[in-house]
Amino acid sequence: MDWGLIFRSTGQAAIGPDACYYALAAAGLNVHIGYTGLLNFGQAAFGAAGAYGLAVAVVTYGVSFWAALFIGLLVSIVLALVLGFPTLRLRTDYLAIVTLAAAEIIRLVVRSVRYTATLGGTDGLQAFGDAFFRLNPFDGGSYTPLEFRPDQVWLLVCAWPLVVVVLLVTFLLMRSPWGRVVKAIREDEDAVRSLGKNTYWYKMQSLMLGGVFGALAGIVFAMSKQSVNPDDYGTRFTFTAVAVMILGGTARVVGPVVGSVIFIGVLQFLDVFLRQAIDAGLIPGWVPIDVNKVAIIRLIFVGATLVLLMIYRPQGILGDRREVAIRDR
Amino acid sequence: MTVDAPPSWATTIPHEPGVAKPDPILVVDGVNRRFGGLLAVDVGHLEVQRGAITALIGPNGAGKTTLFNLLTGFDNPDSGSWRFAERDLSGVPAHRVAHHGMVRTFQLTKSLALLTVMENMKLGATRQRGERFWGALLRPLWRGQEKEIEERADALLERFKLSHVRDEFAGALSGGQRKLLEMARALMVQPELVMLDEPMAGVNPALKQSLLSHVKQLRTEGMTVLFVEHDMDVVYDISDWVVVLAQGRVIAEGPPAAIGANPKVIDAYLGTHFAEGGGEALGELGPDERLEVDQVGLGEPLTPGGAADA
């Protein structure tokens, strides 16, 4: 057993690009589901909007990288308006159905043959981040004991502060009267309307804000792979983000980061640990685990852990038990 | 507690549906709302006197709550219009209605469970700078206003005897406390007209007395109150004027004493039991039947005027 490798690999994942963009995606969902009570099950669509907004603008239309970043965010805002306009007047379950379906529709349209020339089809689009990586001040060699590649270090040095900004904006908004209105909408929309608040517009603002956070997640994801691919933005993206949000603690400002670091860290730990244990012959013969099944077994383990968490700690890691008790009253 | 004498206007105008009031704050004209084949609300003309307490009574399904929903923009009528404080409010969405000075509460109390009592109160204040997205990010823009709002909320909590639960989650309050909170929160809007949908439902007698005095206090402060209530003790005790709705129509109007004696109202809503002391329906019965009616009743027969004496 190489414990050095296990911990290095776990640490690398826990502060790596995966943890970073899932934290962003979950921060967006936290605004939607946690604070406003908008059941958005299509966060992947906002991720795709950001990533493809950037990639298509650079690769297909030759826009500069920096302008394309804003185009990515703009696309996610337009998407929020398009999804929100017909659904936000209805009960929140309709939003869940529409966002889930919209995310799949967007994925299927993007991978369709018809638009390959523009959107890249199933091959996706590459080489849109050159302008960003040209600015990389880190040269060859390994950084920190965690052994990131120089371009990864450069991305992380830019992306984690972005996470901090996102959490700061969330914090500032949720302690303000704006946050009070949004949280009140989650509790009972009609009561808020009767008190003179335009709940429709608040929900739209919330959808746009969380959507922009989702778009940032998609952009960091795309930059870490240096490629966009339609199937990266499937339901798995959304539901991993939901799991991360719940794990960290719904409606907690730093919940998404805590959830993401732990979720991705544990996933990686199990992966390397199980492989090492099998190699070292520590798994007895009657346990049906081999190296080929590790990727699945760790997901089973994580799934079971989440089920136990929901039973014994439904408020998540940072949540407040009292709130769950009052909700169940 | 004795019942106040009715205001002079209530005795001088005719006691009939659709009668004009000397100083109406709310005027409803031809409001219709149909749910499929059912005509839920069909109000020809209705005026609500400014600065008075008006009760809206009627059997279940008479359209009382639907009328509330229509007037406050929570539902849209098939036809009709209404004016509030000389402004046409027909078709105005719910959130704008509150800005015009008309605020409602709900039959099923809507306290915002995971907000504290104080947050519930502060939500009621209108025109908050910190409720705008970009303004919210900059605390100095709204800190001063927030402080003013908090002081106003504290004063109201004091008055409604909720100060001790100020920082509790609203979801942790008792049913009665939530009723108080909802009424106090509505007052944060600083309305001219308060519309209460069954404010006394499910409230114990002691708390009912306190709610009653709060409602009377609103009138003293110059607000107009329109409330739906099934508890006739309450209606007789505090209302200056009673409007009776049955099958969507206004079937009678008048001061409480006159309403209690109105055969149409007895027929449609009160039942013969309430007619003691002037109702024709009861008078038509023989002495034995009269006894039966009293036995079937749910308690002491109510006489308009003396019911709420404690």
pLDDT one-digit tens code per residue, A160-200:
999 999 999 999 999 999 999 999 999 999 999 999 999 99
Q: What is the CATH number of domain B14-111+192-269?
A: 3.40.50.300
Interchain contact A327–B (C-beta under 8 A): yes
* Smallest Cα distance from B186 to chain A, Å: 7
| pLDDT value, residue B273 | 59
Q: Is A178 close to B104, i.e. CB distance below 8 A?
A: no
Q: Does A178 touch chain B (CB under 8 A)?
A: yes
Asked if the Cβ–Cβ distance from B169 to A326 is below 8 Å, we say yes
Q: What pLDDT does B1 receive?
A: 45
- Mean pLDDT lowest among A15-19, A262-266, B41-45, B285-289: B285-289
CA distance A293 to chain B (A): 44
Contact A88, A39 (CB under 8 A): no
Name chain A contacts of B70, Cβ cutoff 8 Å: none
Backbone angles phi, psi at B25, to 5 degrees: -95, -25
Q: Is B81 on the interface with A (CB under 8 A)?
A: no
- Residue A263: half-sphere exposure toward Cβ, Cα within 13 Å: 31
Cα–Cα distance, B41 to B28 (Å, whole number): 12
Question: CA nearest B69 in A: which residue?
Answer: A194
| Ranges under pLDDT 50 in chain A | none
Q: In this complex, is the C-beta atom of B142 within 8 Å of any C-beta atom belonging to chain A?
A: yes
Cβ separation A205–B98 shorter than 8 A: no
Whether B114 and A327 lie within 8 Å, measured CB to CB: yes
Tell me which residue in B131, B169, B182 faces A181 most closely, judged by beta carbons: B131
Rounded (to 5) percent helix, strand, coil in chain A: 75, 0, 25
Phi, psi of B88 (to 5 degrees): -75, 115
Share of chain B above pLDDT 70, in %: 86
Query: How does pLDDT run across B134-162, given as a tens digit for each residue?
Result: 999 999 999 999 999 999 999 999 999 99
Question: Smallest Cβ distance to A196: which of B99, B132, B142?
Answer: B99
Is the pLDDT reported for residue B299 higher than 60? no
Choose the closest CB to A188 out of B74, B112, B124. Answer: B112
Report the residue of chain B nearest A185, measured CA to CA: B112
Q: Which of A194, A201, A203, A322 to mutate to test the interface with B (most CBs of B within 10 A)?
A: A194
Tell me what pLDDT residue A31 has. 98
Query: What's the ipTM?
Result: 0.89
In chain B, what residues touch A187 (CB-CB under 8 Å)?
Answer: 112-115
Least confident among A24-33, A125-134, B170-179, B289-298: B289-298
pLDDT score at B266: 85
CB contact under 8 A, A195 and B123: yes
Q: Give the residues across from A161 on adjacent strands.
A: none
pLDDT for the residue B290: 40
Angstrom distances, CA of residue B219 to CA of A83, A99, B4, B197: 46, 49, 13, 17
Q: CA-CA distance, A187 to A208, in Å (whole number)?
A: 20
Secondary structure letter of residue B169 according to DSSP: B
Contact B52, B224 (CB under 8 A): yes
* CATH 1.10.3470 fits domain A3-321: yes
Partners of residue A173 in chain B, C-beta under 8 Å? 133, 136-137
Tell me what pLDDT residue B288 has: 43
Q: Is B115 close to A183, i.e. CB distance below 8 A?
A: yes
Largest pairwise CA distance in chain B:
76
* Sequence-ordered strand ranges (E) for A18-173: 125-126
Q: At residue B190, does pLDDT exceed 80?
A: yes
Q: Which residues of A touch B136 (CB under 8 A)?
A: 172-173, 176-179
Sequence-separated (6 or more) residues with CB below 8 Å from residue B309 = B1, B2
Q: How far apart are CA B168 and CA B181, in angstroms?
A: 12
Using the Cβ of B115 and the Cβ atoms of chain A, whether some distance falls under 8 Å is answered with yes
Nearest by CB: B123 against A180, A323, A329: A180
Is residue B109 within 8 Å of B178, Cβ to Cβ?
Answer: yes
Cβ burial of A30 (10 Å; 0-12, 13-18, 19+) is buried
Work out the widest C-alpha separation in chain A, in whole angstroms: 67
Residue B282's pLDDT is: 39
What residues in B contact A199, CB-CB < 8 Å?
A: 95
Enumerate the domain spans of chain B: 14-111+192-269, 112-172
CB nearest B136 (choices: A178, A187, A327): A178
Chain B contact for A328 (CB, 8 A cutoff): no
**Cα distance between residue B5 and residue A47, in whole Å:** 68
Average pLDDT, chain A: 93
pLDDT in tens, B103-136: 999 998 899 999 999 999 999 999 999 999 999 9
Q: What confidence score (pLDDT) does residue A190 get?
A: 95
Give every CB contact of residue A312 below 8 A, 6+ residues apart in sequence.
none
Kindly state the average pLDDT of the residues B265-271: 82
What is the pLDDT at residue A329? 67
- CB of B186 within 8 Å of a chain A CB? The answer is yes
B288: left (phi > 0), else alpha (psi -120 to 50), else beta? Answer: alpha
The pLDDT, as a whole number, for residue B285 is 42
Integer Cα distance of A76 and A49 in angstroms: 5
